Amino acid sequence: MIKTAFNSVHAHVILYPRLSIFITVLLFIQLLVLFISRVPPVSLPIRPSTQTPAAPSECGSGRVYVYELPTMFNEDLVGSCDDLDPWHWQCGVASNGGYGRSAAEYAGTVPESLLPAWYRTNQFSSEIIYHNRMLNYKCRTMEAESATAFYIPFYAGLAVGKYLFSNHTAEERDWHCEMLLKWVHEQPYWKRSNGSDHFIVLGRITWDFRRLTDPEKLWGSSFLNMPLMQNVTRLTIERAPGDYYDVGVPYPIGFHPHSDNDVSQWQSFVRTRNRTSLYSFVGASRGDTKNDFRGFLLSHCRNESDTCRVVDCAVTQCSNGSSAILEAQLASEFCLQPRGDSFTRRSVFDCMVAGSVPVFFWKRTAYDQYEWFLPVEPESYSVFIDYSDVLNGTSIWGVLGGYSKEEVRRMRERVIDCIPRIVYAKPSAGLENIRDAFDIAVDGVLRRFKERRQIADENGLQL
């Protein structure tokens, strides 16, 4: 099966060289994830709302109605981890409500009182995390009539994930999506708006849902190419720049604070680290890709071992919950963030949560992705060095070493300010006073829908 997958990837490579890089890499990562995340069978701990509804003033942008979908569109897709299918990467996705197992291996790396807030979270688990949080969301309504936004809890990433690495037909890969749209299309509130006040969470990057039309292009589903999806808002870990309906949200990472106090305690912890390296690089090179920038950074970092701390994921098992990554990032002023398999990379969020200042080489890695979550001025919290300048001889060491202690401190403060905004809190009702990534994302959707509705009403238009 692996061979078949690679064959189909190979066909892709020829036709779509850029896509191919990212697919090869994805394959690699998913293999890693899978070998690492063998966990016991899971059951979804999704509970009905036990929250007392929020006072109207707390939900100024409106409320969310959550569709009750047939379980074939969510719970049934989670799968069972008894399955010996090596491609069953979604095992790690589903355990513990999407948060993953406890990361006991961080004992000694993080303060003891915060250890319970660290998990081995799979980067593709946001569909489950959002669903769980949404059911307990303070601005959820059970009355569709009064809703500003309609949430469709379809696990589209899990639905297509099953088919990504084997030779399945386009029909098979689109089947769940087709059925879902058939179902949702029949709902009265869908008919009212054609889906433009509906939203969904995609646990994978947007490109996994935009299959090209050529039958040779075997990657992904064509969910987002389906006409009915045209005006549905999607919260995704990597958006297509220029597509208004794609909203970038942070990748889930391992830190899930249980309280406001967890957040502030962690912020002081990372603020007072002794950062003994100027910068760090975590990643693996792609030996099979020509001019691989990550390979270049790896080699660069090894050559600069006085200033750069390297975690080579080809040697260290980066996704098995080893504490090597977190330790490297806690000990470095900056962290290098080249593009990953696609433009974005979960490591950006790992790095920022560790209080390390991210260094980008492509603008698309963060600046036009996560506008609701990161500061508007990129230079306030990050450094940008164009990758082509680096290849042409610009010294990373020279650029980063050029910042004064005070300048670095100021950038780090901005990074530390971001921490609550880029993590997903553990309590299903959210934190006490702090707004986390979930709150910001859902509130942003509500505000958008409310504004659009107002504009439409003022102009006598349909939504």
8 is a contact residue toward ligand NAG (CB under 6 A): yes
Q: Which of residues 369-408 bind ligand NAG (CB under 6 A)?
A: 388-389, 392
First and final C-alpha spacing in the chain: 46
152-175 burial: b if 16+ Cβ within 10 Å, else e:
bbbbbbbbbbbbbbeebebeebbb
Could you tell me the smallest distance in angstroms from the CB atom of residue 235 to ligand NAG? 18
Could you tell me the smallest distance in angstroms from the CB atom of residue 41 to ligand NAG? 20
Closest CA to 357 of 378, 383, 338: 383
Could you tell me the smallest distance in angstroms from the CB atom of residue 462 to ligand NAG? 4
Could you tell me the smallest distance in angstroms from the CB atom of residue 12 to ligand NAG? 10
Residue 241 amino acid letter:
P
Closest CA to 462 of 264, 191, 249: 191
Please tell me the number of Cα atoms within 13 Å of 320 on its side-chain side: 11
Which part of the chain contacts ligand NAG (CB under 6 A), choosing from 48-56, 225-233, 435-443, 447-455?
225-233
453 is a contact residue toward ligand NAG (CB under 6 A): no
268 is a contact residue toward ligand NAG (CB under 6 A): no
Closest CA to 315 of 298, 303, 331, 329: 298
Query: CB–CB of 349/291 below 8 Å?
Result: no
Q: Which residues contact 240 (CB under 8 A, 6 or more apart)?
A: 206, 207, 210, 246
Q: CB nearest ligand NAG: which residue?
A: 194
Could you tell me the smallest distance in angstroms from the CB atom of residue 264 to ligand NAG? 17
Q: Which of 225, 320, 380, 395 binds ligand NAG (CB under 6 A)?
A: 320
**Residue with smaller CB distance to ligand NAG, 201 or 396:** 396
The span from the CA of 399 to the CA of 383, in Å, is 9
The tokens describing 428, both together, are 């299903």
Could you tell me the smallest distance in angstroms from the CB atom of residue 282 to ligand NAG? 14
Could you tell me the smallest distance in angstroms from the CB atom of residue 103 to ligand NAG? 8
102 is a contact residue toward ligand NAG (CB under 6 A): no
**CB atoms near residue 49 (< 10 Å):** 16
322 is a contact residue toward ligand NAG (CB under 6 A): yes
The span from the CA of 218 to the CA of 173, in Å, is 9
Which part of the chain contacts ligand NAG (CB under 6 A), choosing from 27-35, 46-54, 297-305, 397-405?
297-305
The span from the CA of 387 to the CA of 297, in Å, is 10
57 is a contact residue toward ligand NAG (CB under 6 A): no
363 is a contact residue toward ligand NAG (CB under 6 A): no
**Residue with smaller CB distance to ligand NAG, 71 or 167:** 167
274 is a contact residue toward ligand NAG (CB under 6 A): yes
Q: Which residues bind ligand NAG (CB under 6 A)?
A: 4, 7-8, 105, 167, 193-194, 227, 230-231, 272, 274, 296, 299-300, 303, 316-317, 320-322, 388-389, 392, 462
